Structure 1
Amino acid sequence: MTPTISDTEERTGEQETDGPVNPGQDSASLEHVRETAADKPTVCVVGLGYVGLPLAVGFAESDYRVIGFDVDDSTVETLRNGTDTTGDLSDEAVQNDELTYTSDSTAVSQAEYVIIAVPTPVRDDDRPDLSFVESAATTVGSKIDTGTTVILESTVYPGTTREVLVPAIERASGMTAGEDFSVGYSPERATPGDAEHGLEDVVKVVSGQDEEVLEDVATLYESIVDAGVHRAPSIEVAEASKVVENSQRDLNIAFVNELSIAFEHMDVDTQAVLDAASTKWNFHGYRPGLVGGHCIPVDPYFFTYRSAQEGFDPELMETSRKVNESVPDHVADLTIKALNDCQKALSTSRVLVLGLAYKPGVGDIRSSKVADVIESLEEYDIDIEGYDPFADNDTAREAFGIDVQESLSFEDFDAILLATPHAEFERIDLAAVADEVADDPALVDVMGALERDDATAAGFEYRKL
């Protein structure tokens, strides 16, 4: 899948262009916007990844004139050709007459509202990387007209909009926030692969630099979000709400992950314990597993970074991160123990990893913790192959450094590691698979998607978190 400004971690503002890459097509598209902007508000979405593209489509479907701006020429060209680059929408959805795709930054000047949806990853030392926000703000600032409202949707720590975004826009524009342009913040709540919780289905948190801007931003989003909006009392509250909602999940998952490691030592079935505990009305149900992706393992670092700046280290959140980061090594240990129990020599063992994406139902392998499991197993010279029905095979081969099957085959593998439980894996006939794999096979079912009794009846040495 082609990376875009809102889902890559290597792109910088230096790759932006002040002129159209394809002059004929871009000029014609922008002229369409100019001709129609007079009678309908125009929205420019900066960054056409998993957050920005659904947002652009959502506004276009609500009869806004929309400019989708991205610095990645190939992404823009793919979208112009009518192909959904995220896999979460459809080709038909991105083919909307109200939506113009461009890599020409001058198009920003055509919009009354500019919404920035660019990536905010963490660096190798776990500090927030706001370079994409600063680059986008500089580009926007150099193009916007007086009266424009700029809304940031990227995940950031409290204070970023006022301390990073606004100064960058002001430097590039020569204008002053609150006088010449307005600023709001509305955290994205995108959930890739979840059709039931799309843009229109989830309450949108909105904020503005003052009451007037807040109401304007709220009205804008109310027109496309059926679930309604929540008006945060300040931009900082809205920024904090985003990192807190995912940090809460990180903490809860860390708890059950730590339980699973403890119960492994006690020889107690973790899922059976959770099933029993969940019969109480106020028990919150979480399952142990690998914590990957672009939100849960990232957002807590934004909070801890900002909190430490103010003199307080949130130890519980920091510990939760350490626990969840340790799980890939634990999964690798489970696999090694299972192979040993099957009397397999590690250096000659073959393991098939089912599911390479960071979560079920999507093909996104970026930030997938399956990579860490594979890296740990490879330290023992184990031969590893992978298969994922959603991920691009060539991309997966390059990212993981392993052979990736085009079609699923279990032949002669010593162990199966079900890392990401896509729905089709839950329908696997283990009795039939047992006829293909090597003698005395192992099955490591990370999230317990398959039945232990079925696995043992088929002759597998079964493990799970």
Structure 2
Amino acid sequence: MTENSTISIIGLGYVGLPLAIHLAKHYTVTGFDINQSRIDELTEGFDRTGEIETSVLRNSTLHLTSDKAELSGHNVHIVTVPTPVDSNNTPDLTPVKMASETVGSFLKKGDIIVYESTVYPGVTEDICGPILAKCSGLECGKDFFLGYSPERINPGDKEHTVDNITKVVAGQTPEVAQTLKSIYGTMNGDKIFLAKNIKTAEAAKVIENAQRDINIAFVNEIAVIFQKLGISVYDVLEAAGTKWNFLNFQPGLVGGHCIGVDPYYLAHCATATGHDPKVILSGRSTNEAMSKAVSNAIHNTILARNPDIQQPRTLILGLTFKEDVPDLRNTKVTDIVHDLKELGHEVDIHDSMADPLEAKQFFDIDLKPSLETAEPYDCVIGAVPHSGYKELTNINIQQIIKANGLIADMKGMWRDRRFDNGYGYWCL
């Protein structure tokens, strides 16, 4: 079947677009997204995620559409929609359910539906399968078949791209698994791991990010402890990192659409079985509390240097959830903004990567168009280590801050600098 496979990709974000581009080098591929403006931009050769270059987009054979009717001629459908949590941190399966309904509306006998969205074990077979069957009138496991291949996209990472990493693949039957192994293998040199079954593949994905979350939580906790002891956690980690088996995790805010979300999927699944996921939720709790710990530490340092200050003017550098990407989804920098405003700060935000329209739409934040300011700030916070911020000279930084102001370096990107006398420097 592999030779005759034609593929549709449902969802063209950070996961779906690179996958579609690479598969289109070997198969007939149609990329579908419900956002017409996204389709228009991609058609013009512009990828706002920054993952695919214009020349690659324009030279690709990938067909782009927002019309689901154009997907019916394909026989392999790959769903790459997001799986967020709601305000109560409960898994929100609405996008994946809607995508299943879309696919189910044109499903035909013999089709394979693969899910790449991060879910807890059982979602593909117990939730998506029945939706596909109901919408298509076909029988799951007989007329059409399920597959799962968890995404491992790391936004902004040009090394671990979808065509270079190992892909975990699972199928509803051994034959389906082999078909998917062949399809995915064409784009990544056959670096395929066949999982025992779909639930195993789902579980493998959800623990990958939960593990990172827990490790970061440990480093965040010791960062808070060492702050109180007057020790830089970065100095400690540098020393400890000389041991061969010490794990290199860095402190900071844990946002984005993976690490800050996926542990809640695992916790939800655990709770449903009657198990209390203490470690998983403890890690989440520690990381969620980090923004307030940082905000309070910076605020108290400002007051210690200038007890008479009433309303500190603070500039935050960076709003996206991580460095050198434009993605604002689930950014925790907004928590810093909220906390500082509650503490009486007048806060401005600059981000060299973020889309100002998205910042306004999602958070009602008006990004500063440049670092120029008529009145210097009491505090400048390096929140996201974009390359442009790392490259700022001491003079660049000191020009936008008062002579006795505080330079707060959340990610330690300027920790090897020596600033002129009078300036304060704070770092985790």
Q: Compute the TM-score of the two structures, normalised by the length of structure 2.
A: 0.96
Letter in 2 for 1:342: R
State the partner residue of 1:190.
153
State the partner residue of 1:265.
228
How much does 1:80 deviate?
2.2
* Contact 1:335–1:444 (CA under 8 A) maintained in structure 2: yes
1:48-94 CA distance string (max 9 Å, x none):
111111111111123x1111111112212222233224211012222
Q: Is residue 68 from structure 1 mapped to residue 31 from structure 2 by the alignment?
A: yes
Q: Is residue 354 from structure 1 mapped to residue 317 from structure 2 by the alignment?
A: yes
Letter in 2 for 1:425: Y
Equivalent-residue separation in structure 2 for 1:272 and 1:238 (angstroms) = 38
Q: Which runs of 5+ in 2 are unaligned?
A: none
Letter in 2 for 1:52: G
Equivalent-residue separation in structure 2 for 1:226 and 1:460 (angstroms) = 53
State the partner residue of 2:397.
433
Q: Is residue 149 from structure 1 mapped to residue 149 from structure 2 by the alignment?
A: no
Length, aligned pairs only? 427
1:360-410 CA distance string (max 9 Å, x none):
110111211000000000112311111111111232244444442212226
One of 18, 22, 26 as aligned partner of 1:58: 22
State the partner residue of 2:40.
77
State the partner residue of 2:213.
250
* Contact 1:40–1:65 (CA under 8 A) maintained in structure 2: no
State the partner residue of 1:221.
184
Q: Which runs of 5+ in 1 are unaligned?
A: 1-37
How much does 1:356 deviate?
0.8
Equivalent-residue separation in structure 1 for 2:280 and 2:60 (angstroms) = 46
Q: Is residue 163 from structure 1 mapped to residue 126 from structure 2 by the alignment?
A: yes
State the partner residue of 2:414.
450
Equivalent-residue separation in structure 2 for 1:254 and 1:170 (angstroms) = 41
State the partner residue of 1:125.
88
Letter in 2 for 1:256: V
Letter in 1 for 2:418: D
How much does 1:459 deviate?
3.1
Q: Percent identity?
A: 38
Equivalent-residue separation in structure 2 for 1:421 and 1:107 (angstroms) = 42
* Contact 1:300–1:317 (CA under 8 A) maintained in structure 2: yes
Equivalent-residue separation in structure 2 for 1:391 and 1:311 (angstroms) = 42
Equivalent-residue separation in structure 1 for 2:170 and 2:18 (angstroms) = 20
- Give the superposed CA RMSD: 1.9
Greater mean deviation of Cα atoms: 436-445 or 122-131: 436-445
Q: Compute the TM-score of the two structures, normalised by the length of structure 1.
A: 0.88
Q: Is residue 136 from structure 1 mapped to residue 99 from structure 2 by the alignment?
A: yes
How much does 1:125 deviate?
1.0
State the partner residue of 2:162.
199
State the partner residue of 2:5.
41
1:422-459 CA distance string (max 9 Å, x none):
1221222224532442231101111111125513x453
How much does 1:112 deviate?
1.4
State the partner residue of 1:239.
202
Equivalent-residue separation in structure 1 for 2:360 and 2:403 (angstroms) = 28
Task: Provide closer, same or farther for how the CA distance between residues 310 and 346 of structure 1 changes in structure 2, counting only shifts above 3 A.
Answer: farther
State the partner residue of 1:462.
425
Equivalent-residue separation in structure 1 for 2:421 and 2:162 (angstroms) = 43
SS at match of 1:200: coil
